[in-house]
Amino acid sequence: MPSAASPPINGDLPRQFASRDALNTLLAQEFPEAEGELSPIRGGREAAENKLRRIDARSYAKSRNHLNGAVTGLSPYIRHGVLSLPEVRDAVFARIRNRDEGGKLINELGWRDFWQRMWLDLGDGIHHDQEPFKTGHDAGAYSRELPADVRAGTTGLACMDGFRDQLVSTGWLHNHARMWMAAWLVHWRRVHWKAGADWFLEHLLDGDPASNHLSWQWVASTFSHKPYFFNRGNLERYSDGHFCDSCPSANSCPLEGSYDQLENRLFAPMPAIRETGNNRNQQRQRRSSGGASAALARPKR
Amino acid sequence: MTFQRPILWIHEEALGANNPALQAWPEAPAVFVFDTCWIQDARISRKRLGFLYENALDLPLTLRKGDVAAEVLAFARRHQADGVVSSSAVDPRLEQIGEAIDAELPLELLDPEPFVELPRPPRLGRFSRYWREAEAVVWEGYSAAR
Ligand SMILES: Cc1cc2nc3c(=O)[nH]c(=O)nc-3n(C[C@H](O)[C@H](O)[C@H](O)COP(=O)(O)OP(=O)(O)OC[C@H]3O[C@@H](n4cnc5c(N)ncnc54)[C@H](O)[C@@H]3O)c2cc1C
C-alpha cells in the first residue's frame, strides 16, 4: 500500500488501520451523522481486480436479468474510477471469442457512458422531472416523503423489505431489484421518484446521480414515453420465487395481476399530453443547449 | 499551463491509479477531501464513506474532511504549490468546487481516457441514437484472436 506523499499534520485523517473494525470506529468518530455500518463490499484495487477477473460475458448475456445471474458487481468501482470504463471494456474484449459473446455486456457499459454524457448535457437538470408523468396522475399526486415503513423495511412485502435490507446493509442491488423497487414505490405507493432516488443515493456504493436519477425518471415516465411496471409473475420468475415463498403478504399481494389489470389499477386515463415548458430551462448555460428529448428505452421490462 | 510545483486534487470520480493527474504528476503531493456538506445534506451512509476511504487508501493521498475547496487550497499552501491539477469531472458539484479553487489558484483539469472517442458529439436523448453512433467505434478496439 503506498503511503501518503506528504508528512501528516494535524487534521489529516489516518492511513493506517489495524483492522476494518478500526476504520469503522474512525468513521463513526469523524462522521457521526453518517448512519449504518461498513459494507461487506470492500473498496480498493485488489477487490476491483478480483471482480474484473470473474467477468463471464457469455453467461452474463444469458442470465443478467436473474437476481442470481452472472452480473459483474463492478458498478461501485466504475462509478468511483477505481476501474475506468475503457479498462473494463478491454477486459471484456480479452475474454471473448467473438463479438456476439460480449455484445450484451459492452452494451451495458455503453449505458454508463450514455448517462454520464446526459449528465454533462443536463447538469443539475437531472434533479427535476424532465417531462410530465404519463401515468394519468399529476406530479403533485406523488408524495415527496419516503414512507417510514419503506425506510424501515417493514412493509410486509418480502421482496421489497428484502431489497431494502440488501440496499441498507451492502449498498448494492441487482438492476432488476432496483427497477422493481422503483416501480413499486412510484406507481403502487405513489411516491415521487426523487424521494426514492435520494434514498438510494444515501446507500448505493455506486450511487451516481446520473444513472440513478435518470433510471428512476425512466421508471416513473418523466423521462420516457410510458411508465415501467411489472407484476408478481415477473418478479417471481427472475427471483426464483425466493421472496414469494416466505412472504407474509403472499395471499394479498398488490403486485398480483395481469399487466392489463395492473395498468387499469395503477394508472388513470391519460389526458392529451401537452408540451409544457419544462425544467430543461433550468439547465446551466454552460452545458450544451442541445435538446435532450428524453424517452429512453432503459431499463427493459 | 505548466506548473513548477503543483498539488493534485483527487476527487470521487477518479479514485484509481489511472487518474490522469496522478499519471502526469506521480511525485506531486495529492489530497482527497471528504465533502462534509454533501455528506450531511445527502445523508450519505457510513458504508459509502468506508468504500471511498478504502479506495483512497490504495493511492498515495493525504485524506482530509471539510469544505473541499478550502481544504485543497490549504493543502496547496502547505506545499507552497503554484497550481492545482485534477481530472475533469461530470458532477456539477465537483465542477463548482473546481471553480472555487481556480478563483484562488490556477487549476488544470486533465481528461480521463474516454470509453469511446467519437468524431463529433453524439446525439443524445435516446440511448439507441447514441449507441447507433458509438457501438461500431467501441468495437473497433476489438480484434478477435482467432
Ligand atoms: C432505479 C435504478 C437506479 C440505478 N442507480 C444506479 C446508480 O446509482 N449507479 C450505477 O452505477 N447504476 C445504477 N443503476 C444501473 C444498474 O442497475 C447498475 O449499474 C447495475 O445494477 C450495477 O451492477 P453490476 O455492476 O453487476 O452491473 P452489470 O450488469 O454487471 O454491468 C456492468 C457495468 O455496466 C454499467 N451498467 C450496467 N447497467 C447499467 C445501467 N442500466 N445504467 C448505467 N450503467 C449500467 C455499470 O457500470 C455496471 O457496473 C440504476 C438502475 C435503476 C433501475
Question: What confidence tier does B82 reach under pLDDT thresholds 50, 70, 90?
Answer: very high
Q: Please give, rounded to a whole number of angstroms, the shortest distance from the CA of A254 to a CA of chain B.
A: 31
Predicted confidence (pLDDT) at residue A293 exceeds the cutoff of 50: no
Whole-number Å distance between alpha carbons of A117 and B125:
10
CATH number, domain containing residue B71: 3.40.50.620
The answer to whether residues B103 and B130 belong to one domain is no
pLDDT (mean) for B98-116: 98
The answer to whether residues B88 and B21 belong to one domain is yes
Whole-number Å distance between alpha carbons of A215 and A228:
10
A280 against B1, higher pLDDT:
B1
Report the nearest-CA residue for atom 26 of ligand 1.
A73
- Best probe of the A interface among B124, B137, B146, by most A CBs < 10 A, is B124
Q: Tell whether A4 is covered by a domain.
A: no
Whole-number Å distance between alpha carbons of A264 and A262:
5
Question: What confidence tier does B112 reach under pLDDT thresholds 50, 70, 90?
Answer: very high
The answer to whether residues A131 and A279 belong to one domain is yes
pLDDT of residue A120: 95
In a mutational test of the pocket of ligand 1, which residue from A211, A214, A219, A223 has the highest number of ligand atoms less than 8 Å from its CB? A211
pLDDT of residue A300: 41
The answer to whether residues A284 and A144 belong to one domain is yes
- Helical H segments across A141-296, by residue range: 148-152, 158-170, 175-183, 193-203, 209-220, 232-238, 259-266
Q: Tell whether B33 is covered by a domain.
A: yes
Q: Please give, rounded to a whole number of angstroms, the shortest distance from the CA of B25 to a CA of chain A.
A: 12
Predicted confidence (pLDDT) at residue A287 exceeds the cutoff of 70: no
Number of domains in chain A: 2
pLDDT (mean) for A11-24: 97
pLDDT (mean) for A117-137: 96
ω before A299 within 30° of 0 (cis)? Answer: yes
Q: Is the pTM of this model over 0.90?
A: yes
pLDDT of residue A251: 96
Beta strands in chain B (DSSP E): 7-9, 30-35, 62-66, 84-87, 107-110
A211-233 residues labelled b (16+ CB within 10 A) or e (exposed): bbbbbbbbbbbbbbeebbbbebe
Comparing C-alpha atoms, which of B11, B10, B9 is closest to residue B92?
B11
Q: Tell whether B1 is covered by a domain.
A: no
Evaluate whether B94 touches A42 at the Cβ level (below 8 Å).
no
Instruction: Please tell me the distance between residue A175's alpha carbon and the centre of ligand 1 in angstroms.
Output: 6
Q: Scanning every residue of chain B, which has its alpha carbon at the shortest distance from the alpha carbon of A3?
A: B60
A206: Cβ below 6 Å to ligand 1?
yes
The answer to whether residues A156 and A79 belong to one domain is no
Predicted confidence (pLDDT) at residue A89 exceeds the cutoff of 50: yes
The answer to whether residues B14 and B57 belong to one domain is yes
A288 against B42, higher pLDDT:
B42
The answer to whether residues B54 and B92 belong to one domain is yes
pLDDT of residue A121: 94
Predicted confidence (pLDDT) at residue A202 exceeds the cutoff of 90: yes
The answer to whether residues A168 and A54 belong to one domain is no
Contacts of B15 in chain A (CB under 8 A): 80-82
Q: Tell whether A38 is covered by a domain.
A: no
Beta-carbon separation of B13 and A81 below 8 A? yes
Q: Tell whether A240 is covered by a domain.
A: yes
Evaluate whether A54 touches A71 at the Cβ level (below 8 Å).
no
Identity (one letter) of the amino acid at B23?
Answer: Q
Considering only the beta carbons, identify the residue of B16, B50, B142 that sits closest to A93.
B142
The answer to whether residues A55 and A199 belong to one domain is no
pLDDT (mean) for A184-195: 98
The answer to whether residues B32 and B85 belong to one domain is yes
Assigned C-alpha cell, A82:
477505481
Whole-number Å distance between alpha carbons of A42 and A29:
20
Question: What confidence tier does A214 reach under pLDDT thresholds 50, 70, 90?
Answer: very high
The answer to whether residues A112 and A171 belong to one domain is no
Predicted confidence (pLDDT) at residue A108 exceeds the cutoff of 90: yes
3-state secondary structure of B49: helix
pLDDT of residue A269: 86
Rg (CA), chain A: 21
Q: Tell whether B73 is covered by a domain.
A: yes
Burial class of A275 by CB neighbour count within 10 A (0 to 12, 13 to 18, 19+): exposed
Beta-carbon separation of A11 and B30 below 8 A? no
Q: Scanning every residue of chain A, which has its alpha carbon at the shortest distance from the alpha carbon of B54?
A: A43
pLDDT of residue B103: 98
pLDDT of residue A288: 42
Q: Tell whether A258 is covered by a domain.
A: yes
CATH number, domain containing residue A282: 1.10.579.10
Q: Please give, rounded to a whole number of angstroms, the shortest distance from the CA of B1 to a CA of chain A.
A: 23
Place of cell 502547505: B78
A2 against A46, higher pLDDT:
A46
The residue segments making up the domain with residue B124 are: 114-146
Number of residues in chain A:
301
Q: Which of A89-93, A277-281, A296-300, B88-92 has the lowest average pLDDT? A: A296-300
Assigned C-alpha cell, A124:
443539475
Q: For B22-71, how does the pLDDT look when each residue is reduced to its tens digit (9 = 90+)?
A: 999 999 999 999 999 999 999 999 999 999 999 999 999 999 999 999 99
Q: Tell whether A26 is covered by a domain.
A: no
A213: Cβ below 6 Å to ligand 1?
no
The residue segments making up the domain with residue A65 are: 45-126
Comparing C-alpha atoms, which of B97, B114, B101, B86 is closest to residue B24?
B86
Question: What confidence tier does A286 reach under pLDDT thresholds 50, 70, 90?
Answer: very low
Considering only the beta carbons, identify the residue of A5, A38, A124 that sits closest to B60.
A5
Q: Please give, rounded to a whole number of angstroms, the shortest distance from the CA of A154 to a CA of chain B.
A: 20
Whole-number Å distance between alpha carbons of A141 and A191:
8
Instruction: Please tell me the distance between residue A181's alpha carbon and the centre of ligand 1 in angstroms.
Output: 14
The answer to whether residues A103 and A141 belong to one domain is no
A176: Cβ below 6 Å to ligand 1?
no
The answer to whether residues B94 and B50 belong to one domain is yes
Q: How far is CA B62 from CA A253, B4, B44, in A?
A: 52, 20, 21
pLDDT of residue A301: 39
Number of domains in chain B: 2
pLDDT of residue A7: 86
Q: Scanning every residue of chain A, which has its alpha carbon at the shortest distance from the alpha carbon of B11?
A: A80
CATH number, domain containing residue A61: 1.25.40.80
Q: Which of A65, A100, A126 is the last residue of a domain?
A: A126
A180: Cβ below 6 Å to ligand 1?
no
A142 Rama class: left (phi>0) / alpha (psi -120 to 50) / beta: beta
Residue B48 in contact with partner chain A when CB distance is under 8 A: yes
Q: Which of A126, A147, A180 is the last residue of a domain?
A: A126
Q: Which of A3-17, B22-36, B126-140 has the lowest average pLDDT? A: A3-17
Question: What confidence tier does B143 reach under pLDDT thresholds 50, 70, 90?
Answer: confident
ipTM for the whole complex: 0.97
Q: Scanning every residue of chain A, which has its alpha carbon at the shortest distance from the alpha carbon of B62?
A: A4
The answer to whether residues A174 and A230 belong to one domain is yes
Residue B49 in contact with partner chain A when CB distance is under 8 A: yes
